[in-house]
Structure 1
Amino acid sequence: MAKRMLAMLAVTALIVGGLGFVKFRQIQTAIGQAAAFQPPPEAVTTIVAAAGEWPATLNAIGTMAAVQGVTVSADLPGTVDSIGFESGQIVREGEVLALLDTRQEQAQLAAAEAQRELARLNYERMQGLLSGSVISQAEFDRANADYRQTEARAGETRAAIERKTIRAPFSGVLGIRRVNLGQYMSAGDGLVTLQSMNPIYVNFGVPQQSVTEMRTGRTVRVTAEELPGVEFTGRITAVDSAVDPSTRNVQIQATLANPAGKLRPGMFVKAAVALGAASAVVALPASAISYAPYGDSVFVVGDMKDPSGASYRGVRQQFVKLGESRGDQIAVVSGLKPGDEVVTSGVFKLRNGAAVLVNNRVRPANNPAPKPENS
């Protein structure tokens, strides 16, 4: 009985040991396969980095502003008696735009001139009497004061009549008329806007670290989406003396010629300030850049070896310093050298050492001056 039990235990131990050995070999094989496993290559597009020169410019979004721009208003209250302009008309300084009713002032002027004439006659009479020592000096002075007072009152009424003649304060282009014939206007009510548009200002902000580059006389190029293919050139004429504490930007003002009036006050435009000589850069499509809080990088394609020593096409992550962007491109100022093959699409799925399969049949846009479709 004891021998049978020992034999059964020996057989059981042998079976368990054999199973354990088989399982051990299976685990070893799986570990070896996992260590040798290479994920399938990721499909990417690439471009060979090439050196180029970009003009040193600073780009900003600006707003057009009139050199002179006002809302022409009534100086005194009154009823509109006549209108001498049309909406959108070009006017010259001093042209009459509207007349307010002055019948009351004209009557007051007639009464004031009559009083002045009477005071003048009395003054001349008193002057003769004074020379004959008939009246005292005090009586003559009172007559003189009455004459001057009535003359000033007549002048005041004439000035009120003149102020009810609304004139263009400078040459420019009128906006849309805001009043109608017979309408009552209070003092300060707007009649029409007037803008002087040639020359014209463009105002834009630049970061405080760039303000030292903004010098009076630097060339500024202005373009607008509403005017494709048209570029306006001007020069910086003023730099604000203070930094905006909310944005840390400094306001810059440039003056442009605008003879055709294509640029209008209030338009948004793109302003580019020429800063000097061109700088050497490597231009890449913006899609090639992997942006991260710890630094921007690109993936450079090259020949690599796996743990078994087999060669494959893979990528290495290269940190770079970026410059300005232009259209579909962005400038790399350091960290990359000409001739490097750089991944331009699919960077979000790559890691350092990942295998790649290059397929350049369809590439991302790489135009420094792209245009929208159907433009």
Structure 2
Amino acid sequence: MTKRMLIMLGCVLVLIAALALGFFLHIKELIANSPKPGPQTVTAAVVSALEWQPQLSSVGTLTAVHGVDISSEVAGQVRTVNFKSGQDVKAGEVLAQLNADLEIAQLSSLQAAADLAAITLKRDQAQLAAQAVSQTQVDNDTADLKSKDAQVAQQQALVAKKTIRAPFTGRIGITTTNPGQYLNPGDKIVTLQAIDPIYVDFYLPQRQVGALSVGQVIDASSDSYTDRIFHGKITAISPKVDTTTRNVQIQATIANPKHQLLPGMFANVTVDVGEKKHYLTLPQTAITYNPYGSTVFIVKPAAAKNGAPATPQQAESLEVQQAFVTTGDTRGDQVAITSGLHEGQMVVTSGQIKLKNGTPIVVDNSVQPANSPNPTPQEH
């Protein structure tokens, strides 16, 4: 009985082994006959050395060389408004006239009193020569004339304040002041801005102050004029560093003859510093940034398998090899490579997500990633 059971058990084991072998051979055949993945399509660029001008970048604010909200020093009713919103005016030009009838009448009265005091002084001086009056009388007359003249000057200043003039040449803003309106002292009439030239104020870290000097050229751009670069010069460097941010304020002056730049706008400012350098350069899209380091995929001819000589087809095919690189400064769409590559190597610039070491590729550069040192928005 035991012998028969052993024979049956042996037969079962042999059957299981045969089935397992058959299944293994079937899977092996399926794997062997499965379609091989084709080469991946990527874009690639040759590593080249380009000339770089080291730059400092910041975001600044445009401010007027002279800017003020014009208001009245005295109360009064607006008689005339002599400007239009947005108009350019000259220094000293009359902008508005307040009603000054009462003040002018008082000025006439004070002027008459001053004239009488002058006549009295002249008459008493003549009488003093004939010893008809005392020196004290002449002294009193002189003091009275000075007092009357001072009152006239004070009233003249009050009348002059009723005439609102432009303190400097510039462009008028938009006003809501109208004839007949009553103004209290300090009420805003209109803003006046001198915007040619115009200032741009920006901040840079204290460690970069040593590279700056008055007279240095700056370039500024605004999103209002995407195709225009405005050139200027540094005219002032603050003698004090902000203790909160450790930044120093820089002021540059930009010519603005067409009044394109307006106070309050922001501008991207760059300052050229130091001598030009040569860096190996790639589009930033070529770099894969990882926690363990930055990598690129280098394009090279496909290697022969198992040490066999390469066939003509293999000699023409390409594959990739991943390599670590050290990146440096960035400039627009470009990044500098300080180590890990040498000039002339071809590197994948897009399509890396589907690659690994040894992946066959096809390079198609019909659509290239952006690679401009000074990119501008594609949509206007």
TM-score bracket, shorter-length normalisation: 0.7 to 0.9
Q: Tell me the matched-pair count.
A: 366
Provide the aligned C-alpha RMSD in A: 3.7
- Indicate the residue corresponding to 2:311 in structure 1: none
- Indicate the residue corresponding to 2:167 in structure 1: 169
Are the equivalent residues in 1 in contact too, given 2:69–2:191 (CA < 8 A)?
yes
Are the equivalent residues in 2 in contact too, given 1:40–1:355 (CA < 8 A)?
no
- Indicate the residue corresponding to 2:251 in structure 1: 253
- Deviation at residue 179 of structure 1 after TM alignment: 1.0
Bigger drift between 204-213 and 116-125 goes to: 116-125
- Indicate the residue corresponding to 2:319 in structure 1: 313
Q: 1:243 to 1:363 in 2, by over 3 A?
A: same
- Deviation at residue 101 of structure 1 after TM alignment: 0.9
Q: Please tell me whether residue 336 in structure 1 is matched to residue 355 in structure 2.
A: no
- Deviation at residue 320 of structure 1 after TM alignment: 1.9
- Deviation at residue 79 of structure 1 after TM alignment: 1.1
SS at match of 2:225: coil
Deviations 1:291-343 (A, max 9, x none): 345543323233576996689823213222221222x3333344322112211
Give distance in 1, aligned partners of 2:291 and 2:147.
80
Matched to 1:338, the amino acid is: E
- Deviation at residue 50 of structure 1 after TM alignment: 1.4
Pick aligned residue for 1:232 from 200, 207, 230: 230
Q: 1:309 to 1:180 in 2, by over 3 A?
A: farther
Map 1:142-291; keep pairs closer than 5 Å: 144-245=142-243, 247-291=245-289
Matched to 1:149, the amino acid is: S
SS at match of 1:93: coil
Matched to 2:370, the amino acid is: A
SS at match of 2:239: coil
Any unmatched runs of 5+ in structure 2?
309-313
Give distance in 2, aligned partners of 1:347 and 1:244.
44
Q: 1:231 to 1:372 in 2, by over 3 A?
A: closer
SS at match of 2:240: coil
Q: Please tell me whether residue 358 in structure 1 is matched to residue 362 in structure 2.
A: yes
- Deviation at residue 28 of structure 1 after TM alignment: 12
Q: Please tell me whether residue 9 in structure 1 is matched to residue 6 in structure 2.
A: yes
- Indicate the residue corresponding to 1:324 in structure 2: 330
SS at match of 1:231: strand
Deviations 1:27-50 (A, max 9, x none): 89999x99xx99876543211111
Are the equivalent residues in 1 in contact too, given 2:61–2:201 (CA < 8 A)?
yes
Q: Please tell me whether residue 59 in structure 1 is matched to residue 64 in structure 2.
A: no
- Deviation at residue 187 of structure 1 after TM alignment: 1.5
Identity of aligned residues (%): 37
Give distance in 1, aligned partners of 2:324 and 2:272.
31
Q: 1:302 to 1:359 in 2, by over 3 A?
A: closer
- Indicate the residue corresponding to 1:97 in structure 2: 95
SS at match of 1:242: strand
Give distance in 2, aligned partners of 1:124 and 1:293.
98
Give distance in 2, aligned partners of 1:262 and 1:46.
41
Q: 1:130 to 1:25 in 2, by over 3 A?
A: farther
Q: 1:292 to 1:214 in 2, by over 3 A?
A: farther
- Deviation at residue 10 of structure 1 after TM alignment: 4.7
Deviations 1:71-121 (A, max 9, x none): 222121211112222222222211111111111211222232334344445
Matched to 1:344, the amino acid is: T
SS at match of 2:288: coil
Map 1:12-27; keep pairs closer than 5 Å: 12-13=9-10, 15-16=12-13, 19=16
Any unmatched runs of 5+ in structure 1?
none
